[in-house]
Structure 1
Amino acid sequence: MFIGAIVTSSLFSSALVLSLNANAQTPQSVKPNELRRYAKAMLTMEPQRQQAFDEIKKIIGSGEVPKIICNDNSSFSNLPSKAKDIAVNYCQRYQKVVEDNGFTIDRFNTITTQVQSNEDLKRQIYNILLRLQKNPESR
C-alpha cells in the first residue's frame, strides 16, 4: 500500500518536483542499475516530500498548494516566506539525494519522464520499490 502511494504521488501528482524540462534529444534507454538507484532515491525522498508538502499546506491553509518546480524560481514566488524556505530546503535535500545516487538532475528528470510514459518502466520501478521496502538493508 505504501509503495503504491509512493509511486503514485512521486511520479504523477507531486506538488514538489525537480524540473521536468523537455529534452529534444531521443531519450537514452534506462539501464537496470539506474532503475534501482532511481527507486532508492524515490524511497528516500518520499517521506520528506510528504512532510514538506504537509508543512507548506499548514502555512497556506485552505488554499491549494501550487506546483513547485525546484529549479524554477517563479514557482516559489507565490509562497509565503516560511513555505518558500521549506520548499527550498526540500529541493536542496532532493538534489543531494539524486546526486548521491549517481545521477545528474537532467538524467534523473529524463528517467522520471520515461517512467511516467512507459507502463513497463512503471511496473519495474514498482517491483524494485517493493523489494527495497521488504529488504531495507539492501538499500
Structure 2
Amino acid sequence: MKKISDLFSRSNRKRILFQSFFFGVIATAGVISNAFSLSSKAYAQTPPPIVNNTEINSYAQAVLAMEPARQNAFEEIKKLIGNGEIPKIVCNDPNSISGLPKKAQDIAVNYCAHAQKIVQDNGLRFDQFNKITIELQNNNMLKRQVYNTLLRLQQTPDSR
C-alpha cells in the first residue's frame, strides 16, 4: 500500500501537474474553438432586418393617418349590417369585401382606396405595408419597435 507521502513525491507531482496542464490546454482550446465556431454560425444565420427604421416610421405614420377613416368606415358598415357580426375586411382580399351588402362594399372599397393613398403618401408601397403588417404578427421585436414609434409620434406635435 502506498503512503500518502508517496502520492506527493516530486515525480508524481510533476506528472499530475503536466496532466492537469495538458487537459487544461485541451479544454481551453475546445472552448475557444467552440466560441469561434458558434459566433461565426450566428453571424451567418442572422438574417438582415426585414424592416428598417425609415419603414417603421412610415408604417406608423400611415397607421395613425388611416385610423380615423378606418373607424368611420367600420361605424358606417356596422350601421348598415345592424346587429350582425361585421366580417374581417382585408383590402387586398376581394372575397372579404364581396360578402358585404352592396352599400357596405362601396364603403369598404372607398376606405381601401383611401388607405392605399395614405400608405403611398407616407413613402411605402402597399405591398411593403402589407408585408410589415404580416411580419408584426410573428415578430415581437418589430411589434415593440412599431408600438414605440406610434407612441412617440402621438406624443410629438406636428410629427405627421
TM-score by length of 1: 0.76
1:51 is matched with: 72
1:83 is matched with: 104
Structure 1's consecutive aligned runs of 4 or more residues displaced over 6 angstroms after TM superposition are: none
2:58 is matched with: 37
Q: State how many pairs are aligned.
A: 114
1: CA distance between counterparts of 2:119 and 2:48? 19
2: CA distance between counterparts of 1:74 and 1:98? 22
**Bigger proportion of residues as helix:** 2
Instruction: Report the CA distance between 1:28 and its aligned residue.
Output: 6.1
Instruction: Report the CA distance between 1:73 and its aligned residue.
Output: 2.1
| Contact kept? 1:27, 1:110, Cα under 8 Å | no
Unaligned runs of 5+ in 2: 1-46
- Identity rate, percent: 60
CA RMSD of aligned residues (A): 1.7
Q: Which amino acid aligns with 1:130?
A: L
1:65 matched to 2:92: no
Match among 121, 133, 136 for residue 100 of structure 1: 121
Moved more, 129-138 or 85-94: 129-138
TM-score by length of 2: 0.66
